[in-house]
Amino acid sequence: DAEAAAAQGGGGAVRAQRGPLLRRIARRHFLQGQHKAAEARLNEALVAFEIERQPLEGYTDGALAWRSQLMRLAHLRKVFLPFSRWPQPGGPPPTAPEERRLAEVATCYELLSQIYLMNHRIRLADYCARRSLALGLRLASLAPVVARAYADLLAVTAATGGSRRAVAYYKAQGGGAGA
């Protein structure tokens, strides 16, 4: 596969495009039903983007739960305390190249969340959906990613026996995100 060989290769220009290339290869695998191959490429892409230090399977359940809770708390703080004195996540609007990078990373997490849901790996699906949501909310152009992240969180909540309130919240948010 020429794309995979290019992704492994050397030059500086190729190294800069390694993450987006791996994400596109993973998308192709995903659409062809090759979910294991897609999962591997997406994990490689997240490492290439320098977002994760290792593939997600390398984290313990406890570490994933902790990271998911931190993201959940940051999201709740943003929703319920938008004008608080604490700094909000996100910072200044990203530049065009950074926007493209964030969009690629959000898409990686969103695809991984779908793959993990299909494979009943709920903790990983929850983590990826929350990461996708956090990145997607930073950019208005990522409304479809945000809507799918809310749908994935709804599925995770249903799978874990979450509260009716959480189900209603994710349902309402997911329906309004794509609009």
Q: Of 34-38, 65-69, 155-159, where does mean pLDDT reach its minimum?
A: 65-69
Q: pTM for this structure? A: 0.76
* Among 142, 143, 146, 104, CA closest to 129: 146
Which range among 51-60, 82-91, 116-125, 158-167 has the greatest average pLDDT? 116-125
* Among 155, 102, 154, CA closest to 131: 102
Q: pLDDT tens-digit profile of 89-129?
A: 445 556 788 888 888 999 999 999 999 999 999 989 999 99
Q: Which two tokens stand for residue 58?
A: 């390398």
Half-sphere exposure of 149 (CA within 13 A, CB side): 23
Single-letter code of the amino acid located at 155:
A
Please report the sign of the dihedral spanned by the C-alpha atoms of residue 164, residue 167, residue 171, residue 177.
positive
